[in-house]
């Protein structure tokens, strides 16, 4: 490990929920939950105000509603979040060429590689300036951790939440880690944590006391060696600028289990087409087709087929996915389906097109979208007004959907830089009301960004 805390980990605070609060003045300081709103939806992000009630990421939305019935429940606006993320990642790339994004709201930065920092004082200064820049550019807050390794930098940013900065000085790592829960270490999830607890190991210090041999006996060779090294604060992983995609996949969870085998097949074909669209957008192709099926009893089956070479042809992927489906028992119902492609490459092997047996091999992916079942088109129309999404009214201006149903839609008219707005209700087919693009959180004035 290096001798200075020059690896930075940034984690935006409650990112999706914070972005929604910043764009909607009426929600600031209030409990906000972002995620799927259907019966089987899950929480993507909860604001800190919602976390007070016990709501957290990955929780079933139904449980969140029981814990915080008065919170605002919104459907994610991923395009909006991605635009903000690009602004943040741009700030990080000004610090170093070695930026490793982990998600839209999280990344590692090697400050030493970019010459931005070389000791504790310079690293701390960079961290403080970055937090200020993020607030100025996006209006949001992020927490920064600085340490001599990626593992410790991530732990530091977690300690810094929300809206803080924590530096772990080289030489203090063991003392700092010792009393922490084993769940603090990367790779220790609920199952591993329970396994260690049953063995009487609760803290990082107790991992060290148990010894490497005991960890290998309990967890296996690879996991045991790795966990013991982390408990000793050993982490030599480098910040990697480009994280190459290993697969491209899409999946859908259904509000009601699908029992009709024909419908299941149609859904698999639709997912295959969506997956190929993503492949082509990324300029990729793949050799291995993967089908994922979660049945009524929550059991999950995964099947795969490897082709002779990489393809981005929709007919080939559809046919492979349907062949895989033939070997899956869907009796009792299906609650989730997914189609993925792995073994990625940036070229295709033309002779694979023959596998389509002349069934639309040359059909552009965009045209395949016309094959979506009528039932799905109806659902899209019914959900035209999505909770939390942007709209514009010819008379009242910009607003967002609070809710819809029974032929009506309720809209709150406000913008990021306005006072909390008024609520009005319209017929769902009101010609004066239309969907709109999100407004920027921070206005650009005279070529410079103003604060919020």
Residues annotated as catalytic (active site), given as ranges? 106
Q: Phi/psi class of residue 17: alpha, beta or left (left: φ > 0; alpha: ψ in -120 to 50)?
A: alpha
**Any idea what the Cα angle at residue 9 is, between residues 8 and 10, rounded to 5°?**
120
Whole-number Å distance between alpha carbons of 235 and 233: 6
3-state secondary structure 51-98: HCCCCCCCCEHHHHHHHCCCCEEECCCHHHHHHHHHHHHHHHHCCCCC
Tokens of 192: 């591993």
Would you say 81 and 438 are in contact if contact means Cβ atoms under 8 Å apart?
Answer: no
| Complete DSSP assignment for 362-377 | T--HHHHGGGS-HHHH
**Which residue has 């407004």 as its token pair?**
439
The answer, yes or no, to whether the previous bond of 284 is cis (omega within 30 of 0) is no
State whether residue 281 is helix, strand or coil. helix
CA proximity to 64, closest of 19, 90, 33, 92: 33
H or E element at residue 303? strand 300-311
The angle that helices 15-23 and 78-93 make with each other, rounded to 10 degrees, is 110
Helical segments of 106-183, H only: 120-138, 150-160, 173-177
Neighbours of 409 (CB within 10 A): 23
Tokens of 60: 């079933």
């Amino acid at each position: 490990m290096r001798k200075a805390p020059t690896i930075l980990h940034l984690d935006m605070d409650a990112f999706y929920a914070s972005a929604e609060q910043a764009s909607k003045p009426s929600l600031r300081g209030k409990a906000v939950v972002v995620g799927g709103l259907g019966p089987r939806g899950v929480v993507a992000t909860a604001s800190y105000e919602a976390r007070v009630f016990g709501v957290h990421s990955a929780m079933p939305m139904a449980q969140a509603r029981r814990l915080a019935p008065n919170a605002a429940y919104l459907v994610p606006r991923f395009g909006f979040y991605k635009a903000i993320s690009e602004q943040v990642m741009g700030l990080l790339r000004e610090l170093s060429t070695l930026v490793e994004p982990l998600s839209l709201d999280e990344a590692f930065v090697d400050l030493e590689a970019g010459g931005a920092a070389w000791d504790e004082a310079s690293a701390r200064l960079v961290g403080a300036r970055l937090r200020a820049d993020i607030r100025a550019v996006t209006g949001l807050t992020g927490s920064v951790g600085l340490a001599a390794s990626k593992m410790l930098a991530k732990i530091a940013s977690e300690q810094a939440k929300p809206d803080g900065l924590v530096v772990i000085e080289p030489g203090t790592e063991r003392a700092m880690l010792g009393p922490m829960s084993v769940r603090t270490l990367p790779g220790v999830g609920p199952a591993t944590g329970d396994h260690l607890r049953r063995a009487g190991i609760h803290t990082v210090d107790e991992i060290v006391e148990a010894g490497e041999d005991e960890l290998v006996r309990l967890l296996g060779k690879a996991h045991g060696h790795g966990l013991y090294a982390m408990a000793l604060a050993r982490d030599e992983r480098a910040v990697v600028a480009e994280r190459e995609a290993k697969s491209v996949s899409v999946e859908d969870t259904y509000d009601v289990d699908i029992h009709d085998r024909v419908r299941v097949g149609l859904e698999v074909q639709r997912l295959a087409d969506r997956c190929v669209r993503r492949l082509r957008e990324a300029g990729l192709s793949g050799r291995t087709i993967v089908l994922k099926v979660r049945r009524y009893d929550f059991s999950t089956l995964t099947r795969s087929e490897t082709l002779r070479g990489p393809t981005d042809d929709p007919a080939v992927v559809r046919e492979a996915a349907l062949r895989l489906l033939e070997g899956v028992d869907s009796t009792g119902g299906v609650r989730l389906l997914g189609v993925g492609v792995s073994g990625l490459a940036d070229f295709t092997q033309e002779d694979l097109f023959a596998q389509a047996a002349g069934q639309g091999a040359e059909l552009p992916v965009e045209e395949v979208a016309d094959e979506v079942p009528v039932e799905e088109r109806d659902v899209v129309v019914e959900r035209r007004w999505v909770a939390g999404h942007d709209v514009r009214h010819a008379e009242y201006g910009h607003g967002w959907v609070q809710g819809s149903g029974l032929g009506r839609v309720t809209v709150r008219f406000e913008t990021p830089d306005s006072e909390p707005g008024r609520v009005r209700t319209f017929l769902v087919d009101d010609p004066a009301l239309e969907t709109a693009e999100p407004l920027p959180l921070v206005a650009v004035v005279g070529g410079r960004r103003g604060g919020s």
